[in-house]
A = this chain, B = another copy of it.
Amino acid sequence: MNYKPFIPPERILMGPGPSNIHPNVLSAMSRETIGHLDPEFIRLMDEIKDLLKYAFQTSNDVTFAVSAPGSVGMESAIVNLAEPGEKVAVCVNGVFGSRMKDIIERCGGAPVVVEGEWGRAVDPSSLEKVLSQDAGISVVAFVHAETSTGALSDVKTLAEIARHHDCYTIVDTVTSLGGSELKVDEWQLDVVYSGSQKCLSCPPGLSPITFSNKAVQKIKNRKTRVQSWFMDLNLVLGYWGSGGRRTYHHTAPINSLYGLHESLLLLKEEGIENAWKRHSNNGKLFCGELNSIGLKPYVPEHERLAQLITINIPDGTDDAYVRKNLLEKYNLEIGAGLGPLTGKVWRVGLMGYSSSKKNIDLCITALNNSINNR
């Protein structure tokens, strides 16, 4: 065992995340660590809360970053909002909807699945039908941008349907925050979580999350304790909550929060609408270019994400060879298909700092050469 310092290769990250990180953010990661109860760190936390409110387009007071990856944001949302025995409608049109269902079961909730098609948006009429047939459902959970398929769902409409049936909403915005239009307050969403490593272009390991006042009230009035100590919002609020003194809960990942702060400053500087527009434009440009080399996106245009595009792998093409070639010859990472889409699609991310004209050109060239010059 004679290991050396690890010097990573310089990759162009066009997979389903992480995306490439802006140099300012990387630089922030290596600033001197300070204590998690230091007054200066508390000030940083307050700024992060404000900046996250901007990113989520919300004035929710309970807006912060969970000290763990996006999956823990998902689990935090569910274990806090759903009590054992509670019926939760969960829309499943890819891996992350399935994961929500799994977590609902594990916390004693009763999932009612709204079945969807992989590669398609969640169908609002399917949700309406399920909620109309079962008046006992109190929470609706769905994914905004399905990272496993590249489909974008209509959060505004789905949330309207949920509200019409007096249901709370849990919305997964891991791949959409900062990349697709998302208006937490205007669309009246209840619990919304994301990840740091997608369109925010921050290193992975944090999960931004926001709770409406209505959701916070439900959680404060739970009949049962939240099954997870780490994720229990009632405890976390002592540390991230506002007003009064902060009390120790766990040790926050200080340097990762330096990175998140810096990435949110960049988002603020660009402007959230401009960031949405850039992602949207680059997504369209990329699909146009794909077409010119004979490749086709998997998802229909009006349900397609701009920041994560699934591409049909042409018949007779060696999936693994192409991805390996991209990585080894071009230092370019793209993603494989997941679940039923394994071997059928590639997943190309144009997220955050990775969403640029330069990367589109490189990816098109690399794909074209790798497919045709074997």
B256→A256 contact, CB < 8 A: yes
Whether A241 sits at the interface, judged by CB under 8 Å, is: no
**Closest Cβ–Cβ distance, residue A65 to chain B (whole Å):** 11
B21→A8 contact, CB < 8 A: no
Whether A34 sits at the interface, judged by CB under 8 Å, is: yes
B69→A253 contact, CB < 8 A: yes
B32→A30 contact, CB < 8 A: no
Known contacts: A106-B229, A203-B256, A226-B106. The answer to whether A28 contacts B6 by CB under 8 A is yes
Identical chains bound together, number: 2
Q: Which of A36-44, A127-135, A157-165 lines the interface with chain B?
A: A36-44
Across-interface contacts of A10 in B (CB, < 8 A): 32
Across-interface contacts of A39 in B (CB, < 8 A): 327
Contact of A3 among B1, B21, B51 (CB under 8 A): B51
B36→A8 contact, CB < 8 A: no
Nearest B residue to A7, CB-CB: B31
Task: From A47, A105, A107, A256, name the one whose CB has the most chain B CB atoms within 10 angstroms.
Answer: A256
A31→B3 contact, CB < 8 A: no
B71→A69 contact, CB < 8 A: no
Known contacts: A68-B72, A72-B230, A75-B228. The answer to whether A251 contacts B3 by CB under 8 A is no
Known contacts: A68-B67, A333-B38. The answer to whether A8 contacts B251 by CB under 8 A is no
Whether A255 sits at the interface, judged by CB under 8 Å, is: yes
Nearest B residue to A8, CB-CB: B34
Contact of A40 among B4, B8, B21, B31 (CB under 8 A): B8
Contact of A11 among B24, B35, B54, B268 (CB under 8 A): B35
How extensive is the interface on chain A, given as a class? 35 or more
**Closest Cβ–Cβ distance, residue A236 to chain B (whole Å):** 11
Nearest B residue to A44, CB-CB: B6
Whether A330 sits at the interface, judged by CB under 8 Å, is: no
Whether A9 sits at the interface, judged by CB under 8 Å, is: yes
Across-interface contacts of A258 in B (CB, < 8 A): 6, 8
* Docked pose: A28 CA to B41 CA in angstroms: 22
Known contacts: A205-B256, A230-B72, A250-B71. The answer to whether A11 contacts B34 by CB under 8 A is yes
* Docked pose: A27 CA to B8 CA in angstroms: 13
**Closest Cβ–Cβ distance, residue A145 to chain B (whole Å):** 15
| Interface mask (A247-264 → B, CB under 8 Å = 1, otherwise 0) | 011111111101101100
Whether A99 sits at the interface, judged by CB under 8 Å, is: yes
Task: From A1, A17, A50, A268, name the one whose CB has the most chain B CB atoms within 10 angstroms.
Answer: A1
| Interface mask (A214-236 → B, CB under 8 Å = 1, otherwise 0) | 00000000000111111000000
Contact of A1 among B8, B54, B67 (CB under 8 A): B54
Contact of A9 among B9, B40, B204 (CB under 8 A): B40
- A sample of 29 inter-chain contacts (CB < 8 A) reads A3-B47, A3-B50, A4-B265, A5-B24, A6-B28, A6-B47, A6-B261, A8-B34, A9-B34, A11-B34, A13-B33, A18-B34, A18-B251, A21-B33, A26-B32, A26-B33, A26-B255, A68-B72, A68-B230, A69-B253, A70-B251, A102-B229, A103-B229, A106-B229, A204-B252, A227-B227, A227-B228, A248-B338, A255-B256
